[in-house]
């Protein structure tokens, strides 16, 4: 059998994630060694193991089927309990996964209690939350499957289940991430994470650095259909926007009036309001749908970074598409979450399985 045929067959097997057992691997080595007297034999061995190494580094939905078969039920139940206790928690848990993946990949590093690390960067301080819920989920998982499931994978599952619990879309979560050893510096974290104060060009650039595009910017921004924002994140729009001496002219006048009452100049910057103002008093708080995009079109978005999506045809096109088609938004959001969850995940022999998500072993 020629080397080309063997390589193609190996690639096909690995593309379907047909992983070899130890005995099968030994048999493959023995067969390969019978060919090793020729140049092609050595080439095949090298190709085979390079492909095998590549396959081992990939994520797969059934990664824990044998080692922790009840994992997804455990996480789903724990997310539901956390949501029942505080329905804001769904948005907070979803945000944790986002803030983890954009800084050095989806490696659980945002969870580390490291002085000067990601958790304490300006972009995360008094902003990201839900760490105690993740701790509780990790403890429950550890009791069922000790030393098996990474904190990074728990964050990926928690994000999906937080969307589902708010009546949003579900998707197949790819698993097999390992936990990183390092938490990036404060400055590095702030440079990587999109901010409520960033221009649209800066946000797009940060997305492109991690392999995402303008469509992903819009669909993932749609997660602001749930959750709250602190006055600190939008008060710059209310009084002296961009040093003009006036409020942001793109904001709806009634929304401006309401937000000024909540967040007066020199007031408490930690007060919060709904990101999707439409939900207030209408009985649909924490419903994951496309109304966020109607807010943008009506000038009723809270964050300037959200309203900026209308400032470029590359993003306003998708705003209009998603406003008109809720199913399209939900499908594209789920697809974008899968892509985001695949940003540089440590896997295979890289990283570790933390016993405690807050510190390396």
DSSP string, 114-170: -TTSGGGSTTTTTT---HHHHHHHHHHHHHHSTTTS-HHHHHHHHHHHHHHHTT---
Task: Give the pLDDT score at 147.
Answer: 97
Q: Is 65 annotated as a binding residue?
A: no
Going from the C-alpha of 356 to that of each of 112, 131, 140, 161, the distances in angstroms are: 9, 12, 12, 21
Q: Where are the beta strands (DSSP E) in the chain?
A: 228-230, 272-274
Q: Is 69 annotated as a binding residue?
A: no
Domain ranges, ordered by start, for the chain = 3-56, 211-334
Give which of 334, 303, 306 is closest to 237, Cα–Cα.
Answer: 303
Map tokens 């924002």 to a residue. Answer: 229
45 CB contacts (<8 Å, ≥6 apart)?
29, 32, 33, 35, 36
188 CB contacts (<8 Å, ≥6 apart)?
103, 104
CA 61 to chain centre: 16
Phi, psi dihedral angles at 294 (to 5 degrees): -65, -35
- 326 — alpha (psi -120 to 50), left (phi > 0) or beta? alpha
Task: Give the pLDDT score at 58.
Answer: 78
Per the annotation, the verdict on 97 as an active-site residue is no
- Catalytic annotation, pick one of 54, 97, 99, 291: 99
Task: Give the pLDDT score at 185.
Answer: 87
**pTM (two decimals):** 0.83
Task: Give the pLDDT score at 181.
Answer: 94
29 CB contacts (<8 Å, ≥6 apart)?
45
Task: Enumerate residue ranges in the chain where pLDDT < 50.
Answer: 1-29, 31-36, 44, 46-56, 283
Task: Give the pLDDT score at 277.
Answer: 79
Q: What is the pLDDT of residues 282-296, one digit of tens each?
A: 545 679 999 999 999
Beta bridge partners of 179: 352
Residue 61 · residue 175 · CB < 8 Å: yes
CATH of domain 211-334: 1.10.420.10
Beta bridge partners of 356: 359
DSSP string for 37-63: TSHHHHHHHHHHHHHHHHHHTS-BTTT
Q: Is 253 annotated as a binding residue?
A: no
Task: Give the pLDDT score at 2.
Answer: 37
Task: Give the pLDDT score at 354.
Answer: 97
Task: Give the pLDDT score at 127.
Answer: 86
Q: Is 135 annotated as a binding residue?
A: no
Q: Is 224 annotated as a binding residue?
A: yes
The C-alpha atoms of residue 127 and residue 110 are separated, in whole angstroms, by 12
């Amino acid at each position: 059998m020629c080397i080309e045929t063997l390589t193609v067959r190996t690639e096909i097997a690995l593309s379907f994630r047909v992983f070899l057992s130890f005995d099968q691997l030994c048999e493959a080595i023995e067969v390969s060694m019978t060919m090793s007297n020729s140049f092609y034999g050595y080439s095949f061995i090298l190709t085979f193991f390079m492909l095998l190494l590549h396959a081992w580094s990939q994520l797969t939905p059934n990664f824990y089927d044998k080692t922790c078969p009840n994992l997804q039920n455990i996480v789903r139940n724990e997310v539901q309990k956390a949501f029942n206790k505080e329905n804001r928690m769904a948005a907070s848990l979803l945000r944790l996964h986002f803030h983890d993946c954009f800084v050095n990949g989806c490696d659980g590093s945002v969870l580390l209690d490291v002085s000067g690390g990601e958790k304490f960067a300006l972009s995360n301080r008094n902003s990201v939350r839900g760490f105690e819920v993740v701790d509780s989920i990790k403890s429950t998982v550890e009791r069922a499957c000790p030393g098996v499931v990474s904190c990074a994978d728990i964050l990926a599952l928690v994000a999906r289940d937080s969307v589902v619990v708010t009546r949003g879309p579900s998707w197949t979560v790819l698993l097999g991430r390992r936990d990183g050893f390092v938490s990036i510096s404060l400055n590095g974290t702030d440079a990587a994470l999109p901010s409520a104060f960033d221009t649209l060009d800066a946000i797009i650039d940060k997305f492109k650095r991690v392999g995402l595009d303008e469509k992903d910017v819009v669909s993932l921004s749609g997660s602001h259909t749930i959750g709250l924002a602190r006055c600190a994140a939008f008060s710059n729009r209310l009084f002296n926007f961009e040093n003009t001496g006036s409020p942001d002219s793109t904001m709806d006048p009634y929304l401006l009036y309401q937000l000024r009452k909540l967040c007066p100049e020199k007031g408490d910057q930690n007060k919060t309001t709904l990101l999707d103002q439409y939900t207030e008093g209408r009985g649909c708080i924490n419903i994951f749908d496309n109304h966020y995009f109607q807010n943008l079109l009506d000038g009723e978005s809270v964050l300037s970074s959200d309203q900026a999506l209308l400032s470029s045809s590359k993003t306003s096109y998708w705003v209009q598409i998603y406003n008109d088609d809720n199913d399209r938004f939900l499908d594209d959001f789920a697809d974008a979450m899968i892509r985001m969850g695949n940003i540089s995940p440590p896997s295979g022999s890289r990283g570790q399985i933390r016993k405690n998500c807050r510190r390396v072993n």
